[in-house]
């Protein structure tokens, strides 16, 4: 694309570039007809795909009318030096992007709540019209000189259920820092919940100044979105209330159904969490928190500072994340402070809470949401209403009043019981107790005998049960009906089935990650069919190339049938933060093979690094060692439940994504495991393994590829 600064597109003079993107650049322009400064978005390519994208974005933006959506003034195309420039004209906002502000410092929680509500209302607006934005991020939120915010950039927006987040070549559409984990599933459609995940990332970024997942490259970030829980926002923003943190974490749930159902619901929950006053447990009069602030029944009207800065250890136990939606539906948990000069409303008088307009637009509650008067009182509501915005004289429910007056009611009853007409006859004085007789010698033997008899009665059936199994079942499995009945009630079996189901779900959810990682051209590849390549592979009787087969690694079983292993390495190529893919075929043997990576090889041939090992039955083991010849440390070990091919002469593709301390492992594009380990952070060579247990082993490797 040619440099357009100082050029003119139709009536728009392009003065200077103010933003760069992957698909388009944005210029400060001047509209010569209306004599105003505008922003001109110019697309970088002039091919057919770019033309369709330009037309789609212009059409979508022209149909939308919302106070927090950036409007469109004009659209068109103009030929410049033989290059067809497609452009959109929008208002010029002097405040820049939200991302620029967040790079300087995070926002106060109250300011983040305002932006969340405004952008959230715009997001709900487009969702109601069947449009998914698909690129929610701080650089797509624009600010004017008065601090008002606007959602922009509908370049990859689509109708609901229109397309997946992946292109036909496997590349991701959008920004992975804000992308929901389910969008990495193959053929998964983007929907409103995936936009809400991006909004949750934006909220995290607004209050902390950083996104929840950061890594050296996009593939590593994708792996974190799928496999890691987000860090605590309070780690980076100590002034954030615990309840507000729970709202952020709920918006970042891995499962879409556990997130908020709308952006307005999320904004309401976050605003209410900021207004919530932590309630201390009853303490003696004059008791103080650890911050030496005296506990009072009513804070100053119109302030939220005390609710934000209360120490976490002085606050009562918060409800779980999954209960927030229920509490939200029952009505506000606490009353916000009234404006200065207005008396705080008493909770039991049915007054509506004061709501200050924060923007030109008023936001009505969701349809069907009960008000405080309609909502049934629950223990959670009563808990949340204590101590914030209440008058000095507390009003207790009738049950609490009776409980508090229990001592006064009990005293007359005690006097009544001691009246003459109800008084019981006075008992005679007890006679002196004679001294105890000395125990009989036979009594001790009798007690010991009884104890032994009881022990035998309990121990013998228990021993038979442990030895022979559950009564009514057969050890050899012939009693099929009984065995089935027992297994269906076995908690261990249920947990195993649940774990397998979760593993299958996670494997399906991460299939697109490795496909994306291997969709580009490899930085290094070797078919491993001959020794004539530029790589320096070992060549010996145990490490040999066979044309049309691959690189054979062989090892004989150990002395007296003990296990033995052999590694064959490459000596000239160093790899660190890369994706490795290689085909493995277990031609013979019962021990399997695997890939050493980030290997540091000593002068005597020992390996230090990581090993991803898989047996012929699909059992895998990931280990680390400073010297594999003397032993290793297992990092993770389990059975591959799906995706692994068993049988003689069957190939499996082993895949490893290594980025910094994050290591992810796949087989045949199916996720196996992910872990974090810093034992070997540096780059190293690659080596292949053959392991023999009771049989000699021959493992064949081919089609090695390494991707950045």
In angstroms and rounded to an integer, the radius of gyration of the C-alpha atoms of the chain is 35
- Measure the CA–CA gap between 675 and 349, rounded to whole angstroms: 56
Q: Residue 268 corresponds to which tokens in the numbers above? A: 């309401």
Look at residues 575, 564, 598 and name the one whose alpha carbon lies nearest to residue 526.
575
Q: Residue 213 corresponds to which tokens in the numbers above? A: 């997942």
Q: Residue 101 corresponds to which tokens in the numbers above? A: 């502000």
Look at residues 107, 115, 255, 282 and name the one whose alpha carbon lies nearest to residue 193.
255
Q: How would DSSP label each residue in 1-44?
A: ----TT-EETTEEEEEEEEE-SSEEEEEEEETTTTEEEEEEEES
What is the greatest pairwise CA distance in the chain? 123
Helix/strand/coil (H/E/C) assignment for every residue in 409-425: HHHHHHHHHCCHHHCCC
Look at residues 244, 253, 178 and name the one whose alpha carbon lies nearest to residue 211.
178
* Helix residue ranges per DSSP H, 438-539: 441-468, 480-489, 491-509, 511-517
Q: Residue 354 corresponds to which tokens in the numbers above? A: 């004061």
Look at residues 75, 40, 81 and name the one whose alpha carbon lies nearest to residue 61.
75
Q: Which residues pair with 141 in a beta bridge?
A: 151
Q: Residues 135, 153, 195, 526: which is the catalytic one?
A: 135
Q: Residue 538 corresponds to which tokens in the numbers above? A: 């070992």
* Residues in binding site for ATP: 41
Q: Residue 641 corresponds to which tokens in the numbers above? A: 């439940």
- Measure the CA–CA gap between 693 and 701, rounded to whole angstroms: 20
- Measure the CA–CA gap between 617 and 644, rounded to whole angstroms: 9
Contact yes or no for 98/143 (Cβ under 8 A): yes
Q: Residue 626 corresponds to which tokens in the numbers above? A: 């400073």
- Measure the CA–CA gap between 383 and 378, rounded to whole angstroms: 9
Distances 55 to 50, 161, 386, 393, 404 between C-alpha atoms, Å: 9, 20, 56, 65, 71
Q: Which residues pair with 97 in a beta bridge?
A: 142
Share in percent of the chain as helix, strand, coil (round to 5): 30, 25, 45
Look at residues 682, 679, 655, 676 and name the one whose alpha carbon lies nearest to residue 666.
655
- The beta-carbon contacts of 597-606 under 8 Å, at least 24 apart in sequence, are 597/656, 597/658, 597/684, 597/686, 597/687, 598/658, 598/680, 598/682, 598/683, 598/684, 599/569, 599/684, 599/685, 599/686, 599/687, 600/680, 600/682, 600/684, 601/569, 601/571, 601/684, 601/685, 601/687, 602/627
- Measure the CA–CA gap between 668 and 687, rounded to whole angstroms: 19
191 is catalytic: no
DSSP letter, residue 82: T
- Measure the CA–CA gap between 136 and 560, rounded to whole angstroms: 63
Positions annotated as catalytic residues are 135
């Amino acid at each position: 694309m040619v440099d357009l600064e100082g050029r003119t597109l139709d009536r728009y003079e392009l003065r200077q570039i103010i933003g760069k993107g992957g698909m388009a650049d944005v210029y400060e322009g001047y509209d010569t007809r209306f004599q105003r400064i505008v922003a001109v978005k110019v697309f970088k390519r002039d091919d057919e795909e770019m033309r369709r994208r330009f037309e789609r974005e212009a059409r979508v933006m022209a149909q939308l009318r919302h106070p927090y959506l950036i409007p469109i003034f004009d659209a068109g195309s103009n030929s410049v030096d033989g290059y067809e420039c497609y452009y959109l004209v929008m208002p010029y906002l002097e405040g820049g992007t939200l991302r620029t502000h967040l790079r300087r410092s995070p926002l106060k929680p109250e300011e983040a709540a305002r932006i969340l509500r405004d952008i959230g209302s715009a997001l709900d607006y487009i969702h109601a019209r069947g449009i998914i934005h698909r690129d929610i991020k701080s650089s797509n939120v624009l600010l004017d000189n008065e601090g008002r915010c606007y959602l922009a950039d509908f370049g990859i927006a689509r109708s609901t259920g229109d397309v997946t987040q992946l292109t036909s070549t496997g590349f991701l559409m959008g920004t992975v820092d804000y992308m929901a984990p389910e969008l990495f599933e193959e053929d998964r459609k983007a929907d409103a919940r995936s936009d809400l995940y991006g909004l949750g990332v934006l909220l995290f970024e607004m209050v902390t100044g950083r996104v929840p997942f950061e890594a050296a490259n996009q593939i590593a970030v994708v792996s974190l979105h799928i496999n890691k829980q987000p860090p605590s926002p309070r780690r980076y923003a100590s002034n954030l209330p615990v309840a507000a943190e729970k709202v952020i974490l709920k918006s970042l749930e891995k499962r879409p159904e556990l997130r908020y159902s709308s952006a307005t619901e999320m904004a309401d929950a976050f605003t209410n969490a900021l207004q919530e006053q932590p309630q201390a447990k009853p303490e003696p009069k004059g008791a103080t928190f650890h911050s030496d602030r005296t506990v009072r029944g009513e804070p100053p009207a119109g302030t939220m500072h005390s609710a934000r800065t209360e120490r976490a250890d002085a606050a009562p136990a918060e409800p779980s994340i999954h209960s927030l939606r229920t509490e939200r539906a029952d009505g506000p948990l606490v009353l916000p402070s009234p404006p200065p000069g207005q008396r705080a409303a008493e909770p039991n008088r049915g007054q509506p809470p004061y709501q200050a307009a924060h923007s030109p637009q008023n936001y009505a509650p969701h349809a069907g949401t009960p008000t405080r008067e309609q909502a049934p009182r629950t223990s959670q509501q009563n808990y949340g209403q204590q101590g914030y915005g209440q008058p000095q004289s507390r009003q207790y429910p009738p049950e609490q009043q009776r409980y508090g007056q229990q001592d006064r009611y009990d005293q007359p009853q005690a006097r009544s019981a001691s009246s003459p007409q109800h008084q019981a006859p006075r008992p005679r004085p007890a006679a002196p107790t004679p001294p105890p007789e000395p125990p009989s010698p036979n009594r001790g033997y009798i007690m010991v005998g009884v104890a032994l008899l009881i022990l035998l009665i309990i121990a013998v059936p228990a021993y038979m049960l442990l030895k022979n199994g559950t009564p009514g079942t057969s050890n050899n499995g012939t009693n099929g009906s009984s065995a089935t009945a027992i297994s269906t009630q076995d908690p261990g079996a249920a947990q195993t089935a649940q774990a397998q189901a979760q593993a299958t779900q996670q494997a399906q959810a991460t299939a697109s990650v490795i496909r994306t990682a291997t969709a580009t051209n490899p930085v290094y590849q070797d078919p491993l069919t001959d020794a004539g390549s530029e790589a320096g592979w070992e060549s010996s009787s145990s490490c040999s190339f066979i044309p049309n087969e691959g690189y054979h690694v062989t090892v004989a079983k150990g002395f007296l049938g003990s296990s033995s292993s052999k590694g064959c390495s490459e000596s000239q190529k160093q790899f660190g933060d890369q994706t490795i893919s290689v085909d493995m075929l277990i031609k013979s043997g019962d021990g399997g093979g695997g890939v050493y990576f980030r290997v540091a090889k000593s002068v005597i041939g020992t390996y230090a690094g990581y090993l991803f090992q898989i047996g012929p039955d699909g059992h895998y083991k990931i280990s680390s060692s400073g010297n594999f010849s003397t032993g290793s440390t297992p990092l993770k070990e389990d059975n591959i439940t799906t995706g692994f091919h068993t049988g003689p002469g069957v190939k499996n593709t082993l895949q490893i994504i290594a980025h910094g301390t994050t290591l992810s492992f796949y087989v045949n594009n199916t996720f196996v495991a992910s872990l974090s380990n810093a034992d070997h952070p540096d780059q190293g060579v690659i080596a292949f393994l053959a392991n023999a247990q009771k049989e000699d082993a021959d493992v064949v490797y081919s089609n090695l590829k390494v991707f950045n």
